[in-house]
Amino acid sequence: MTKKIQYLLIGLFVTAVTTTLSLPGGAGAQAQSKLPEAVVAVIDINYILQESAPVKKAEEEVKALLKSKVDELNKRGDALLKEKEALDKQRAILAPDAYQQKLAELNQQRQGLQRDFQVINGKMNEVLVGVRLKFREFIIRVAADVSKEKGVNIGIDRERTVFFNPTMNITEEVMKRFNDANPKVDIKIEETVESAPKKQN
């Protein structure tokens, strides 16, 4: 083997080694960017949202608030019904145009009342969704604390998990800490329900 060929082979070998070390998948890069071993935990967030004491208490408060609003609307409905009954009794002594005008006013108020029922129900649904979202954020923070203590570095929601080892489930521990923390959220409804149209004299 001539010296020229020997130099060429040595040059190719050095180039190959250098390339291997510099590539992203090379042994040197792998040693520097070695990922930690995955330790997975599973948490059933929906179960906690359905069964935990703080969420149940908040939902009861929302229902109580809804009942108070509905009771107010029902009182308005009862008042309109009495006005309609009184108007029907006066029909014989009222001019047809006067009767029709008063009846139209009552119907307008009744339609406004129906809209108010729809608005208040829609707002209650918005409040319930908002309450659950805030509690969900708190649950995730609690789950992160539990996971850190257990050396877990990946958390998966049970809803998105096909199967898993039961020992990976930290739901009950998170539920206990969530109940013990007993977080509170503000529950209020913006007063945007339109008032019934005023009667014209």
Domain annotation covers residue 53? yes
Q: How many domains does the chain have?
A: 2
Domain annotation covers residue 199? no
Looking at the structure, tell me whether residues 54 and 121 fall in a common domain. Answer: yes
134: CATH: 3.30.910.20
Domain annotation covers residue 99? no
Looking at the structure, tell me whether residues 63 and 118 fall in a common domain. Answer: yes
**Alpha-carbon gap, residue 43 to 143, rounded angstroms:** 8
Looking at the structure, tell me whether residues 64 and 154 fall in a common domain. Answer: yes
pLDDT band of residue 35 (cuts 50, 70, 90) is confident
Stated pTM of the model: 0.67
Looking at the structure, tell me whether residues 73 and 3 fall in a common domain. Answer: no
Better-scored residue on pLDDT, 142 or 2: 142
Domain annotation covers residue 146? yes
Domain hosting 41: range is 35-77+108-181
Looking at the structure, tell me whether residues 1 and 73 fall in a common domain. Answer: no
Looking at the structure, tell me whether residues 136 and 154 fall in a common domain. Answer: yes
How much of the chain exceeds pLDDT 70, in percent? 78
Looking at the structure, tell me whether residues 68 and 119 fall in a common domain. Answer: yes
The Cα-based distances of 139 to 64, 162, 168, 193 in angstroms read: 24, 21, 17, 33
Looking at the structure, tell me whether residues 16 and 66 fall in a common domain. Answer: no
Looking at the structure, tell me whether residues 8 and 62 fall in a common domain. Answer: no
pLDDT at 16 (0 to 100): 44
Looking at the structure, tell me whether residues 148 and 52 fall in a common domain. Answer: yes
Domain annotation covers residue 191? no
The Cα-based distances of 133 to 1, 40, 56, 90, 189 in angstroms read: 77, 24, 14, 54, 16
- Tell me what the mean pLDDT of segment 41-64 comes to: 93
pLDDT band of residue 146 (cuts 50, 70, 90) is very high
Helix (H, G, I), strand (E, B) or coil at 191: coil
